[in-house]
Structure 1
Amino acid sequence: MPLSAANLLSEETSPYLRQHKDNPVHWRAWSTEALAEAQALDRPILLSVGYAACHWCHVMAHESFEDDGVAAVMNRLFVNIKVDREERPDIDQIYMAALNATGEQGGWPLTMFLTPDAKPFWGGTYFPKLPRYGRPGFVQVLESVHRAWRDKRGELARSADALTDHVSARLAGGPASTTIDPTQLATLAAGVQDMIDRQRGGLRGAPKFPNAPFMRVLWQYWLTSGNREHRDSVLLSLREMLKGGIYDHVGGGLSRYSTDADWLVPHFEKMLYDNAQLLQSLGWAYAATKDELFGVRIKETVGWLLREMRVDGGGFASSLDADSEGEEGLFYTWDRSEIESILGESSTRFLSIYGLAAPDGWEGKPVLHIEADDLTPVISAEFVSARQKLFHARAGRIRPGRDDKVLADWNGLTIAALAGVGRLLDRPDWIAAAAAAYRFVIGSSDDAGRLPHSILDDRRLYPAMSSDYAAMINASITLFEATSEASYIATARNFADKLETWYTDQSGHGYYLSASDSADLLMRIRGDVDEAVPSATAQIIEALTRLAVLTGDLDLQSKAWAAAEAASGRAAQLAYGQAGIVYAAALALDPWKLVTVDAPGSRAFACVADAASDPRRVDIRLTAGDKTSAPALPGGIVPDIARPGAWLCRGNGCLPVITEPAELRSALIQP
């Protein structure tokens, strides 16, 4: 049945798509029906990919998609399909790879032109309505693409075939090796280290992103090698981020990236995944250094997360917009006069530590950041009080919009981070919040027990991505470590079974991003490439490795190892884009397991383990005298769980039983 000549986005699950429901453009969501329409009409597809918190997506929408004249051209010449990249990362990755293969810089909004059978032939990112910034106007682009399609269709079709083959070879390729190279982590860490900005942390140049996959590689290599230079690069990057305008000094939480090289002026959208990974990194940094700045930033960021990102039922929303009242950053920025009015005489002291900056090219109000090198006053009661006054004053402003959809993979990252820092700082309320979000996600499964990828009110988007299952396996394990509740392990095993049923590559070379019954894709891809979060493949290797270590399941260990071997081979030539795989393969090479047994009523060993967060380690906490089976340890060791003690295992071997908490503390001290 043909689709109606109208905008069809009003009933979609994505808030981003629904932002466009009143456009005069005849938008369709990505579907088999929309693709069939393009073939029936023999028209090319205009594919527009973005997300709710994307500033330039809003700009292009206001300039072009809300304009009747531009919409008329789009409707006449193309089948117009709108995609939320957060809801359909598989589609986004395919067409972003196609754009990159043409030599263009990627970004959002992604604007791609496809043949009626969905093969890409040309594209770009943001196009202004009228020619400027050295870019053609959007109507010019539309008409030029139409003329090329009309006059050079055969040539475009051949180009589309070649581009599709190239993307398929890159994103869906087979293994290039059958062994994990133990030097891969060292080589990549050395390369990343060479790119570090020695003054400001992060990678040199602008824009500056947190780049969690690279920071994880540096941290892991420090743990493996003892090279403190790599650790210090991560600590420097965290401290400078937490001083800069990219961090919200009044309300907590990190913006997506800084437009400059000094972490000063961000794009102000706040993404759930960035802050989940920030919490994880801060947990590791605090455990290693006990630097109180990291502890304070953990508490502030968790406070923001629980206050501003929880939806009804306990899950976490995807993002907060950069814009409010039509202006980027307006909610977060300050004039000096506002601060002086709110803080009164104490403003002088406050502004001796904090600065307000409006560098060249920034059109908004100044951005609050820390200028002082001595950060001790920042965590003092005096400055906490000042920030609270600013927070209450800011609460009266019009807030940025929130994208309320709950993504299973981003929530899995957040649950694991929240439970981890809850253990570290002895905050059972944070662990309880993580458990509530976990119940929210798994409670949204369908009748067959399959997870959705996206949840919004009573809407669900099935099937999930493999990254959703991987992230929720890791969340399950971290919640088990924090609570010792066996149900989390049973659920993790069920998720691993779902991965095997719906996502495995039958040749034994790993897993795909999309389920085998996803019927609307040009190709099936593996999900090897990192974005702001580690790739789906990286998360799967980590999840299966940790679950195998925890349970002693040799079949799971074999599957994790096979996936790591194949992925390591594929990553050999593209390590910088697949840092997550290198990190996860290093975990598979050198997994750690800790079993602690405390006397009834005591947490002596458990407290030592909680305070020594280490990404290599999986922990099991027991109480002496409990009626439970002894956990499986490498080398056939059977721990005596009838009395207090600790067993620390690395790879295939274990240390002798540790009988004193102080001895365990020494064993867990990082290099």
Structure 2
Amino acid sequence: MADNLLAHETSPYLLQHKDNPVHWMPWGDEAFARASAENKPILLSVGYAACHWCHVMAHESFEDPGTADLMNEHFISVKVDREERPDVDRIYMDALHRLGEQGGWPLTMFLTPEGDPFWGGTYFPKETLYGRPSFRHVLTEIARIYHEEHDKVRHNTQALRDAIANPVTPEAPAPLAMPIVAEAARHALRLVDRDNGGIQGAPKFPQTPLFSLLWRNWLRTREPDYREAVETTLFNICQGGIYDHLGGGFSRYAVDNAWLVPHFEKMLYDNAQLLELMMLVWQDTDEPLLRLRIEETVDWVSREMIAESGAFAASLDADSEGEEGRYYVWTRDEIEALLEPDLAELFCRVYNVTPEGNWEGKTILNRLGSLALADPETEHRLAEARDILLAHRNKRVRPGWDDKVLADWNGLMIAALANAGAAFARPDWIELAVRAFDAIRRHLWTQDRLHHGLRLGQARHPATADDFAHLIRAAIVLHEITAEQAYLDDAERLADMLDRDYWDTEKGGYFFTSARTEHLITRLRTAQDDATPNGNATMLANLARLHALTGKIAYRDRTQALIDAFTGEVLANVFAHASFLNAFEDAAELVQAVTVGPPDAPETRALRQAVFAQSIPARLLMSIADTSHLPDGHPAAGKPMKDGKPTLYLCRGQHCSLPITDPASLADAFRIVSG
């Protein structure tokens, strides 16, 4: 048996560890069998390619022969990419939380040979530091406890297994209703940092679902505090150091409370969610800064994030040349050497570049000193400067690129790109989304199985409920925008597969993992958001749309079953369930825009474009030649074109607007129907 078995894996993160002196094994039968045969606990280490602290622990401990000897002597060491196996990561992160730890990556868990967790943590330093025990001490003590205090281990494993497998489900004190959604938005508003945006304190994450909740409440109420909270957040994110002002795209979060210092990794899912929110706000405000950042973000995605298959890659690393942020930061001397003196002076003033720097002696470019864009001439000169600096930056050693394709993250970006392309009338953006969806269809969807990830031509690992949910949403959005039936058919087939293998027949709702997924000690089921919107929440919105599109009662019934299954959990902690609250609005207050008339007629296209221009998160666009094609019972069924012209009807519940033939009147009609 080879000492380290990661060389044949496809995950860039696992391949980063293939030359460690640690005898790493991938997750699977062989690791469990070896642990049982040798009566050793499993040391499970979970991370991801763009994770800075994962790199730190690797350099300090996993590359150290002395530490590796301890690991090899006392443990079966298993390395997992959390992005490739989110099912494994979620179970053991849940276990860590139940041990009273905050969680994070790298995740370090100790398991029995059967896979039951009994102790864990996150990053452990090589030497005792800041009150954290050294990793070597942890290894020695855990090995001793496992062999000498077996009753303690058995007690811990049983308690954790019971807690993970049987979480307490709160009883719903009342049915979920729109007044409760509005009240949740009011509570969330009190948490907002009114100066810098985001949630008060540090670190600051974009928290996109929560700010989408606030934005939706602005659209319903027109109370300015909600709009200001979202705009302040987006403007600071767009002008802060969390944004890459030269290459475009957003980092995962900021470590400070002013969005200046990012954790430099760029994740596909963050950029997809921010793209959606910026677009919704731009549709209502026509804010030039948001338009610019949307365009730049899409440019970054199309330039740097397309994998070989045509789908989207997962992430860019935080580190290059062994240092976090090295690729992105500047000194004033570097900038003055590249730009003409007057342009350098302008650039340094606008982007907060000083001789002493703003982070470890270097400068993170930002425009937090003035959030508004400058006059057009100044912005043109700044763009010239950025082009020069970007060309120079491209000569640096680039951060690692994790080019694996993940179904759920691609679903998020496909929907965001398609919606943005429709709103901006950019068919090239829509084509990017279409190509990515086609790549997923070709490479990850085989017969009646969907896979989670793709790299080096290999589709691997069973899909999660999130994979299905976000791809179904992407298919529905593409159906809206292209009016092609094939995308609706895809959405229905995926929904059938999800129902077959993921539905909890006892309590309702979707398990995160398939009934056919192996080597897991339990199946988790929750509606709580993670870094991405929860799959059950996304399915709530999907099922409401599928019912409207097809008229099938099964979709309506499953929509209500999801609401019933999770109302208690949602009401017990509304802030962790923002996506579910947003999806509930989609289910309860879906605004259907139905165009009737020849699909290729200029008047029809103008009506459709007017719909895409509106900020209506709970929108569903249906384009039909005549209303006889609508499902039975649809509120627009039987309504004709007006005066023989392509006509639009806006419907909510069982009521529709008067016929609309003038795109210019659409905004007011939307406000009446949505209010």
Residue type at the aligned position of 1:232: E
Partner of 2:210: 214
Residues in 2 aligned to 1:175 and 1:479: alpha-carbon distance in whole angstroms: 38
Residues in 2 aligned to 1:322 and 1:342: alpha-carbon distance in whole angstroms: 25
Matching of residues 246-325 of structure 1 within 5 Å: 246-325=242-321
Partner of 1:426: 425
Judge conservation of contact 1:246–1:263 (CA < 8 Å) in 2: yes
Residue type at the aligned position of 1:94: I
Return closer, same or farther for 1:632/1:410 CA change in 2, 3 Å cut-off. farther
SS of aligned partner of 1:572: helix
SS of aligned partner of 2:353: strand
Partner of 1:606: 608
1:101 aligns with 2:98: yes
Shift of residue 508 of structure 1?
5.7
1:168 aligns with 2:129: no
Within the candidate set 649, 652, 662, 2:664 is matched to: 662
Residues in 1 aligned to 2:390 and 2:125: alpha-carbon distance in whole angstroms: 36
SS of aligned partner of 1:619: strand
Matching of residues 316-335 of structure 1 within 5 Å: 316-335=312-331
Aligned length: 665
Return closer, same or farther for 1:302/1:35 CA change in 2, 3 Å cut-off. same
Return closer, same or farther for 1:18/1:373 CA change in 2, 3 Å cut-off. same
Shift of residue 371 of structure 1?
3.7
Residues in 1 aligned to 2:421 and 2:402: alpha-carbon distance in whole angstroms: 26
Comparing 443-452 with 256-265, greater Cα deviation is found at 443-452
Partner of 1:629: 629
Comparing 262-271 with 40-49, greater Cα deviation is found at 40-49
Give the fraction of aligned pairs with identical amino acids, expressed as a percent: 44
Return closer, same or farther for 1:175/1:462 CA change in 2, 3 Å cut-off. farther
Shift of residue 87 of structure 1?
1.1
Partner of 1:461: 460
Cα offsets for 1:612-646 (capped at 9, x unmatched): 1321011123467xx98246663473232564111
Cα offsets for 1:146-172 (capped at 9, x unmatched): 12222221022112211221122338x
Partner of 2:498: 499
SS of aligned partner of 1:618: strand
Return closer, same or farther for 1:88/1:357 CA change in 2, 3 Å cut-off. farther
1:188 aligns with 2:184: yes
Judge conservation of contact 1:634–1:653 (CA < 8 Å) in 2: no
Residue type at the aligned position of 1:655: S
Cα offsets for 1:121-166 (capped at 9, x unmatched): 1111100111112211100010111122222210221122112211
Judge conservation of contact 2:240–2:367 (CA < 8 Å) in 1: yes
Return closer, same or farther for 1:113/1:497 CA change in 2, 3 Å cut-off. same
Judge conservation of contact 1:113–1:123 (CA < 8 Å) in 2: yes
Matching of residues 226-625 of structure 1 within 5 Å: 226-344=222-340, 345-356=342-353, 362-363=359-360, 365-373=362-370, 375-377=372-374, 380-445=379-444, 447-507=446-506, 509-597=508-596, 600-602=601-603, 603-622=605-624
Residues in 2 aligned to 1:192 and 1:174: alpha-carbon distance in whole angstroms: 21
Comparing 155-164 with 287-296, greater Cα deviation is found at 155-164
Partner of 2:110: 113
SS of aligned partner of 2:398: coil
Comparing 529-538 with 194-203, greater Cα deviation is found at 529-538
Shift of residue 661 of structure 1?
2.0
Matching of residues 126-137 of structure 1 within 5 Å: 126-137=123-134
Judge conservation of contact 1:254–1:274 (CA < 8 Å) in 2: yes
Partner of 1:77: 74
Shift of residue 402 of structure 1?
0.3
Judge conservation of contact 1:330–1:365 (CA < 8 Å) in 2: no
Judge conservation of contact 1:99–1:123 (CA < 8 Å) in 2: yes
Residues in 1 aligned to 2:30 and 2:551: alpha-carbon distance in whole angstroms: 46
Judge conservation of contact 1:471–1:543 (CA < 8 Å) in 2: no
Return closer, same or farther for 1:430/1:597 CA change in 2, 3 Å cut-off. same
Judge conservation of contact 1:598–1:605 (CA < 8 Å) in 2: no
Residue type at the aligned position of 1:43: K
Residue type at the aligned position of 1:489: L
Shift of residue 218 of structure 1?
1.3
Return closer, same or farther for 1:357/1:578 CA change in 2, 3 Å cut-off. farther
Return closer, same or farther for 1:447/1:133 CA change in 2, 3 Å cut-off. same
Residues in 1 aligned to 2:266 and 2:355: alpha-carbon distance in whole angstroms: 20
Judge conservation of contact 2:41–2:76 (CA < 8 Å) in 1: yes
Comparing 46-55 with 116-125, greater Cα deviation is found at 116-125
Residue type at the aligned position of 2:516: D
Superposition CA RMSD, Å: 2.2
SS of aligned partner of 2:614: coil
Residues in 1 aligned to 2:632 and 2:651: alpha-carbon distance in whole angstroms: 11
Partner of 2:638: 638
Shift of residue 182 of structure 1?
3.3
Residues in 2 aligned to 1:498 and 1:358: alpha-carbon distance in whole angstroms: 59
Residue type at the aligned position of 1:634: H
Cα offsets for 1:544-590 (capped at 9, x unmatched): 22222233332212112211221222222132222222222232221
Gap regions ≥5 residues in structure 1: none
Normalising by structure 2, report the TM-score.
Answer: 0.94
Shift of residue 50 of structure 1?
0.5
Return closer, same or farther for 1:60/1:294 CA change in 2, 3 Å cut-off. same
Residues in 1 aligned to 2:375 and 2:312: alpha-carbon distance in whole angstroms: 29
Return closer, same or farther for 1:628/1:322 CA change in 2, 3 Å cut-off. farther
Judge conservation of contact 1:16–1:51 (CA < 8 Å) in 2: yes
Judge conservation of contact 2:251–2:263 (CA < 8 Å) in 1: yes
Judge conservation of contact 1:545–1:556 (CA < 8 Å) in 2: yes
Judge conservation of contact 1:54–1:269 (CA < 8 Å) in 2: yes
Within the candidate set 216, 219, 235, 1:223 is matched to: 219
Normalising by structure 1, report the TM-score.
Answer: 0.95
SS of aligned partner of 2:352: strand
Gap regions ≥5 residues in structure 2: none
Shift of residue 451 of structure 1?
1.6
Comparing 59-68 with 556-565, greater Cα deviation is found at 556-565
Residues in 1 aligned to 2:226 and 2:473: alpha-carbon distance in whole angstroms: 25
Judge conservation of contact 1:177–1:566 (CA < 8 Å) in 2: no
Partner of 1:651: 653
Comparing 336-345 with 107-116, greater Cα deviation is found at 336-345
